[in-house]
Structure 1
Amino acid sequence: MKKIFIIFLTAGILSCGAHQKNPENADPMDYANSITSSELKDHLYIFASDEFEGRDTGEPGQKKAAEYIVNEYQKTGISHPEGMSNYYQTIPSEYFNGKFNDTENVLGFIEGSEKPEEVLVISSHYDHVGVDDEGNIFNGADDGGSGPVGILEIAEAFKKAVEDGYTPKRSILFLHLTGEEKGLLGSKYYTENPVFPLANTVANLNMDMIGRIDEAHAGNDNYVYLIGSDKLSADLHELSEEVNDTYMKMDLDYTYNDPDDPNRFYYRSDHYNFARNNIPVIFYFNGVHDDYHRPTDTVEKISYEALAKRAKLVFLTAWEIVNREDRIVVDKTQ
């Protein structure tokens, strides 16, 4: 009986292994193209609606937004990290010295097939600034809306690849951050209380405001500002450039990557808390517009084609990071 059991066990292992295919043999554009402007629009029209009350940190609207993200992951079949009881990393009010209510980072996760301990973090904040004293709702369609719906589509694309047998070699954490508008507090909390060791976090791709077209690129939906790609890793910067050249051929604008740029955007979004822990980062950004932190940052002003292109670029960059033989090399310091 023991010999028969071993034979069946071995056959079962081989059968499971046969289902797993090498992602290097896949065309990632097959999955990138599942990221569509129409699906992004469907998500954002809900996510940046009045129902979510501006998604202010710790307030009911932010809780509804977190629940929406979780429901979408459950529909897609993407789970939370195994060591967590649910999708929420709760940040207690005490962490904010009582200034804000308890709030939550939301985490989706796909485990890698070959190097599961190595983790790529794809992030964006989903909070915004809420409602003012006059009852005006700050919907934050671009700021805090475009990024998280982009992550949902990127996660779904990776899940489709997994269903076809192309599980990424490294793990991917889809990290929706709270409290960014209060001072990058959600990402600060995560990096102080990481679900996966920071030493095993190979890179962070962060999106914040990726749904609009700024004045400098009027009429051009085929650009994105990149910030930080070369700050800690020449390897990451070169990979990013090569992925774009191969698949998307977007105009990569490094204006705000200049150390002397007075806007200092490198220090102003959630990627920075990863960078300050020597984790290589890329910050994807559409530039500034007059609706920033105003009630006029609404869904009808989003360029959904631009949003889709930027989300595809992030997906394709992530695909290369998680499936290449070697992890990203850190060759510079903060």
Structure 2
Amino acid sequence: MKRILAIAIPAILMACGAQHKDIEKADPMEYANTITASELHDHLYIFASDEFEGRETGEPGQKKAAQYLKNEYKNLGLASPLGGDDYFQEVDPSYFKRGNIKATENVVAYIKGSEKPDEIVVISSHYDHVGIDDQGNIYNGADDDGSGTVGVLEIAEAFKKATEDGYRPKRSILFLNNTGEEKGLIGSKYYTDHPVFPMENTVADLNIDMIGRIDPAHEGNENYVYLIGSDKLSTQLHKLSEDVNKKYMNLDLDYKYNDEYDPNRFYYRSDHYNFAKHNVPIIFYFNGTHADYHKMTDTPDKINYDLLAKRAKLVFLTAWEIANRDERLVVDKANSDSAQ
């Protein structure tokens, strides 16, 4: 028996070692390239179809959308941080003390980190939209925010493929699809007030809200994205973001809406803001508004899928760098909006 164990134990250890490789030797671009325009197209033509009835918070279409996301995460083999088959963080409408919110849910999945599993990198989008109008017109919300949501699915798949190849990220990655953004950021507020993982352990939130179109200011430019908030809390995050882009993607990073005096106030208008209030460094990825914003004409045929893929790759590569750096990002700027 001792002889058998002496042979078996090294063999088991070798087998385990084959499943966990040195992350520094991985080429993240190999996994970024698994994010493809064709897969984004296929997801979005389902997710922004009439079947999902505009995905209004608490309505049947939103419930279908939540189930779609859950099924996709399960098909990828991603675990739920809630345990078992429960991928829904139930959002209690009574928490908000106002009458226009129905029972709804955030959708969550994650990959556990190899070295610093208690430190969390969040990649978020909102999957709700504005539903159906009084005349029965469906507002499909392909760009807002179907584009960000299918981007999160593809990013999750890229991280999963890296993990299957033995390159598990050092920190845990939480994929968070928020509900109720269109009702006043309620899904992300509920999450940050009732976090699955402690907010003090949350390293960053990369939030994706509308990345499938080109706005009028960039007509003819298929190589840009607006970045908002990258320098608000962490000098390191801003530098890391620019370095990653320069190394891998070379997108034109437009900081127009990052100006604190921007009259649009986009920094305060998507789910990342609830993380920022808790002193979590954030980046908001955005393509700007367009003529179809919050109209029934925001349909999947108007999406630029090649550009959507480029932007999703940038988010993945930025998350990869944050998750695998030796030290967590330092918060070195004051936050006047921090939560009490």
Q: What is the TM-score of this pair, normalised by structure 1?
A: 0.97
The aligned counterpart of 2:179 is: 178
Aligned residues: 334
The aligned counterpart of 1:113 is: 114
1:43 aligns with 2:49: no
**Residues 110-168 of structure 1: CA deviation (Å, up to 9, x unaligned):** 00111101110000000000001111111000002101100000000111101111011
Asked if the contact 2:123/2:152 (under 8 Å) is kept, the reply is: yes
Task: Give the CA deviation at 1:292.
Answer: 1.0
Task: Give the CA deviation at 1:8.
Answer: 4.2
Letter in 1 for 2:202: T
The correspondence of residues 242-257 of structure 1 with structure 2, limited to 5 A, is 242-257=243-258
1:258 aligns with 2:259: yes
The aligned counterpart of 1:300 is: 301
Letter in 1 for 2:304: S
Q: Distance in 1 between matches of 2:100 and 2:121?
A: 32
The aligned counterpart of 2:314 is: 313
Q: Distance in 2 between matches of 1:89 and 1:219?
A: 41
1:130 aligns with 2:128: no
Q: Distance in 1 between matches of 2:334 and 2:2?
A: 56
Q: Distance in 2 between matches of 1:55 and 1:82?
A: 23
Q: Distance in 2 between matches of 1:323 and 1:39?
A: 26
Higher mean C-alpha displacement, 7-16 vs 267-276: 7-16
Letter in 2 for 1:107: V
Q: In structure 2, do the counterparts of structure 1 residues 262 and 6 end up closer, same or farther at CA, with 3 Å as the change threshold?
A: farther
Q: Distance in 1 between matches of 2:82 and 2:269?
A: 31
Identical-pair percentage: 70
Task: Give the CA deviation at 1:96.
Answer: 3.9
The aligned counterpart of 1:157 is: 158
Task: Give the CA deviation at 1:265.
Answer: 0.4
Q: Distance in 2 between matches of 1:112 and 1:17?
A: 16
Task: Give the CA deviation at 1:186.
Answer: 0.2
Residue ranges of structure 1 left out of the alignment (5+ in a row) = none
Q: Distance in 1 between matches of 2:104 and 2:134?
A: 22
Q: Distance in 2 between matches of 1:6 and 1:256?
A: 63
The aligned counterpart of 1:61 is: 61
Question: Alignment RMSD, CA only?
Answer: 1.5
**Residues 41-69 of structure 1: CA deviation (Å, up to 9, x unaligned):** 10000000000000000000000000111
The runs of at least 4 consecutive aligned structure 1 residues that moved more than 4 Å come to: 1-11, 82-85
Residue ranges of structure 2 left out of the alignment (5+ in a row) = 336-340
Q: Distance in 2 between matches of 1:18 and 1:40?
A: 31
1:90 aligns with 2:108: no
Higher mean C-alpha displacement, 93-102 vs 103-112: 93-102
Task: Give the CA deviation at 1:12.
Answer: 2.5
Q: Distance in 2 between matches of 1:148 and 1:326?
A: 29
Q: Distance in 1 between matches of 2:64 and 2:13?
A: 42
**Residues 145-194 of structure 1: CA deviation (Å, up to 9, x unaligned):** 10110000000011110111101111000000000000000000000000
The aligned counterpart of 1:147 is: 148
The correspondence of residues 9-48 of structure 1 with structure 2, limited to 5 A, is 9=9, 11-48=11-48
SS state at 1:138 partner: coil
The aligned counterpart of 1:187 is: 188
Asked if the contact 2:101/2:183 (under 8 Å) is kept, the reply is: no
The aligned counterpart of 2:338 is: none
**Residues 204-239 of structure 1: CA deviation (Å, up to 9, x unaligned):** 000001100011111111100000000000000000
The aligned counterpart of 1:207 is: 208
SS state at 1:65 partner: helix
Letter in 2 for 1:240: S
SS state at 2:90 partner: strand
Q: Distance in 1 between matches of 2:129 and 2:120?
A: 27
Task: Give the CA deviation at 1:305.
Answer: 0.9
Task: Give the CA deviation at 1:99.
Answer: 2.6
